[in-house]
Structure formats: C-alpha cells, structure tokens
Amino acid sequence: MSWHPQYRSSKFRHVYGKPASKEKCYDCVPITRNVHDNHFCAVNPHFIAVVTECAGGGAFLVIPIHQTGKLDPHYPKICGHKGNVLDIKWNPFNDFVIASCSEDATVKIWDIPKHLLTRNITTPKQELLGHVRRVGLIEWHPTANNILFSSGYDYKIMIWNLDSQEPVISNPVKILDVHKDVVLSMSFNTDGSLLATACRDRKIRLIDPRAGMVLQVASYKSHRVNKVLFLGNMKKLFSTGTSRWNNRQIALWDQNDLSVPLLEEDLDGSSGLLFPFYDSDTHMLYVVGKGDGNIRYYEISPEKPYLNYLMEYRSHLPQKGIGMMPKRGLEVSACEIFRFYKLIPTKSLIEPISMIVPRRSESYQEDIYPLTMGAHPALTAQEWLNGVNKGPVLVSLRPGSADLNSLPQFLEPEPLLKTKDLSQHWGGGRKTPPEDVQKPSAIEDSRKQMKVEEKLPKNEQVCLTNGFDVFECPPPKTENELLQMFYRQQDEIRHLRELVNQRDVQIKQLELELRNVCMDTGRY
C-alpha cells in the first residue's frame, strides 16, 4: 500500500487573497439587481465595465481602471439597449471595443473613446440581429480577430464575423442548432477549434463550431451541470453544478471521454451558482460562489488526484458577480498572479481582490510568470473560418519586454536554400561569384530592417535603452529599483549574446552551403 503525503510541494501552496483598501475600490456604483446567472462585469487593463440599474432599457458603465473612489451619480452610461443587459465582454485584441447582449434579442458592439466619457453613448458601432429571443451569453474567439459567438433563449449559438463594415449585420456566418434547451455556459479550448457548452438539459456538449457537429455528449445523471470550462492544454474539462441532493458540486472530465467524470466532489449545501476561472499559466483553478464571499482555489495536475486543494479566500460580503483582469494587467512587482473584481450590490461597491504569491524578493519572478496570452490575434476571421488553427500569440510579462511575434526574425533558423533551387536560379552550370550569391540574403535583411522600422510610430521621439523606454521608466530612486534595473540589463545582455551566437552559426552554415554549391557547379 503506497503512502501519499498530506502536503505536496508547490510554489502556489501559500497563495493568499488580498482585498484592496477602501481608496482603491469603486464606490457608489449602481450594480444591477438582475437575477440572471452571469458575471455582470468585464475588465481589461484600461477599463472596468459593469452592468448597472437603468430605467427604461438596459445600460452598463465603463469606468477607467485607475478612477477609483466614489463614482459621480451622473456618470455617463452606455445605454443603447431596449431591454436589460445580460452579458458584456471586452474584445481580447482591442481594449477599446466591448460587446453586449440583452433581453431585446440583440448584440451590440461599442467603441469606447480613449478620453473620459462626457455624455451617454447610445449609438453602437455595430448591431447584430439574428436571435428571436433574448440573448444571454456572448464569447469572443480566443485567437481569431473579430469572431464573436452569441447564445440566446432560442436555443441557438450564432457565429458572427465583425470584419464587415456594415452597421447592422443580420446574417451570422454559422448557426449551431444542436441544443434542445437554453445554453448556460460556453468555453473554448486554447486555439479555439473546439467549443464546450453546458445546457439546461443537464448535458455537456463538445462541439466543432465550424463544422457544426457535436463530437461528444456527457449526460451523467448525478451531476446537473451549470458552468463548463476548458482547462487550457490539459485535455480536460471542468464543470460546476449540483448533485442529486442539491449540494453544490464540481466535476473533472477527460476531453476524449465524457461518459464518466474523472473526479466528482460535493462542496456545500448553498444554493448560489459556482463560477470557475482557470489560469493556464500557473495551472490554478478558482471557484467563485455567487451569493457568498468565498473563493476556493486549486492546482490542476495531469496525474491523479488531478485536483489539489490549496486554500480558500473568505469574506463576509457576498458577491453578486465577478470580473477578472487579464494577465497583462497584473502588477508583477507585487507577485500578483490573478485579480478579481467583486461586485457587492448591498454596498454599491466593486472590490478588487489580488491573489498573491508571497516572495521576499522584489525582482521579476520568472518562474510564476511564464509566457502568457497577449493582445494580438493569431488569425484573421477569414483564416479561422477557412479551417486554420493557431495557438495564441504569447508575450512576456517582464517589464519592458515585447511580444514574441515582434522579436527580430533571425531568432528562428532561416530555411537554407537547396542545391537544386540554387542551380536553377543561377541558370544551369554557370558559376556565379559569391557577391551575387549573397544579394538575396542582403535583400531579406534589409526587408526585415524595414519591417522593424515600420512598427515604430511616426513623428514620435523614442529613446530606448536596452529594450525599454527611458521616458516610460524613470531613473531608479531606491536601491531595490537600481538592482532590478541592473538584473534587467544583465538579462538583456545575455539575450543579445545568444542572438549574436545564433547569427554566427547561421552565417557559418550559409558559407558551408555556398561552398558546397560552388563545388557542385564546378564539377559540371
């Protein structure tokens, strides 16, 4: 009989939740009293949007993320819907575009100005008309630009391509009519090629959205599902719901076999819904209870027992809804790995809660901040509709770093020209001097240099030192800041040395290839 230790080694075992101080909360916010089971809040690094109470139609607020404290009672609203707003979601690739759906059976896309709002916004950028009953859920595609999914009480999921410049779109590119009841939850896998749904008929469906085919169905009788979530690249699904005895319950499923859950666990006897959130960078799972103040968090592992309980954040203030900040908006200097925005309607308050890994060092902690999803799409809408799958564009959260796709092109080994291609290019067996051979590579280098220069904004004075902006990062004032900048420069120097070494290796490879080609052409 094998013995399993009660505690397992994990860098996230001591993660704790830290509520923001009163000055950093959002006070006097008229949070909606709607009983619809949704988050009612959406957050990005620039704004926090929250569904609000409004007479005669539906509305929501968009507040700059740094504008904390008491909110002006006459603060402008986005109020173009004729019914209550049921869901809002920020575009993951444009922090100034938000989508909303409502009881008026419409989905609207809004442009949010970069300056402070001075008046109500009533005219949307685009309006999507296709559902015949109220629309309860919307989701943006995780990797393709301008692809939006909407689900209504007509039991249909509609896929919209927002690349169209028309203000009113009435024809979705695809309609998924595979459900027999209301869809309660939608979730994508990492590259957006699969869609998991939870339906009121208590079934989980795994769908290929472009083909419109149901790949698998889970109809486990002892688990009545409410919310379902893909666990990144773990090939697993996580669901929350209730048991036969109406206890709140969580379940873990194998993506390739939904007949029986891998794990099933009752939590408590409360009646509130459970909202799951997954951080694929740290493999941490957060379960937030609606109607209570608790946030349970677990660590997911690929082997048994799969779900490892870490701790629970407790508060006496119940939450009506919850928002989540994307990873690129976190404060890495404080070792913050997740941030919730808790809606407390009894106090008209939005309270940020930071999940923090306790560390003594103030330098950048690379082990808890792996490469994460950035704000650039990996695909265009048409590419995804044509069947292309691609994972998200990854970025580093290290201060001063850039997206991976904007690094110099010679980081990747360039494909070497084959002998046949070179001989055809030189016109049979005629010898060509080495200077002419090197011209194509020189042209490629100049093109790459031009691409890098085009990315810099025009008519803007930029002063860069070892990869970060001097005007954006002022000189260090304390010893810790000086050490942090020193370590950052050391990393930059090490990185540049690696690039130079890679370049030297590629030059030698090209020289050997050219020498072999010249010898082969000389024989003929």
For residue 67, the domain's CATH number is 2.130.10.10
- Helix H or strand E segment including 61: strand 58-64
Range of the domain at 32: 18-177
Note the pLDDT of residue 474.
60
- Report yes or no on 99 lying in a domain: yes
Rounded to whole angstroms, how far apart are CA atoms 265 and 298? 13
- Residue 508's contacts (CB-CB under 8 Å, 6 or more residues apart) are none
Note the pLDDT of residue 10.
83
Dihedral sign from CA coordinates of 397, 402, 406, 409: negative
What count of other Cβ atoms lies within 10 Å of the Cβ of residue 321?
25
Full DSSP string of 416-445: PPPHHHHHHHHTTT----HHHHTHHHHHHH
List phi, psi (to 5°) of 24.
Answer: -100, 10
Note the pLDDT of residue 7.
55
Residues in the chain: 524
From 151, 108, 148, select the one nearest 131 (Cα to Cα).
Answer: 151
Note the pLDDT of residue 220.
84
pLDDT, tens digit, 9 for 90 and up, residues 297-347: 999 998 888 999 999 999 999 999 999 999 999 999 999 999 999 999 999
- Report yes or no on 108 lying in a domain: yes
Note the pLDDT of residue 308.
92
Rounded to whole angstroms, how far apart are CA atoms 360 and 335? 10
Tokens representing 348 are: 């008209």
Amino acid symbol at 227:
K
- Report yes or no on 323 lying in a domain: no
- Report yes or no on 337 lying in a domain: no
pTM: 0.75
Number of domains in the chain: 1
Residues β-bridged to residue 148? 140, 160
- Report yes or no on 383 lying in a domain: no
- Report yes or no on 120 lying in a domain: yes
Amino acid symbol at 74:
H
396 three-class SS: coil
pLDDT, tens digit, 9 for 90 and up, residues 78-92: 998 999 999 999 999
- Report yes or no on 249 lying in a domain: no
From 321, 284, 390, select the one nearest 41 (Cα to Cα).
Answer: 321
- Report yes or no on 228 lying in a domain: no
Tokens representing 243 are: 């048991």
Note the pLDDT of residue 268.
87
Q: What is the pLDDT along the chain (524 residues), one digit of tens a residue?
A: 334 445 567 889 899 999 999 999 999 999 998 888 899 999 999 999 999 988 778 899 999 999 999 999 999 999 989 999 999 999 999 999 999 999 999 999 999 998 878 899 999 999 999 999 999 999 999 999 999 999 999 999 999 999 988 999 999 999 999 999 999 999 999 999 999 999 999 999 999 999 999 999 998 888 999 999 999 888 999 999 999 888 999 999 999 999 999 999 999 888 889 999 999 999 999 999 998 899 999 999 988 889 999 999 999 999 999 999 999 999 999 999 999 999 999 999 999 999 999 998 878 899 999 999 999 999 999 999 999 999 999 999 998 775 544 333 333 333 333 333 433 333 444 333 443 434 444 444 444 444 444 444 444 343 443 444 434 456 666 766 777 777 778 778 888 888 888 888 889 888 888 888 887 776 65
Note the pLDDT of residue 473.
53
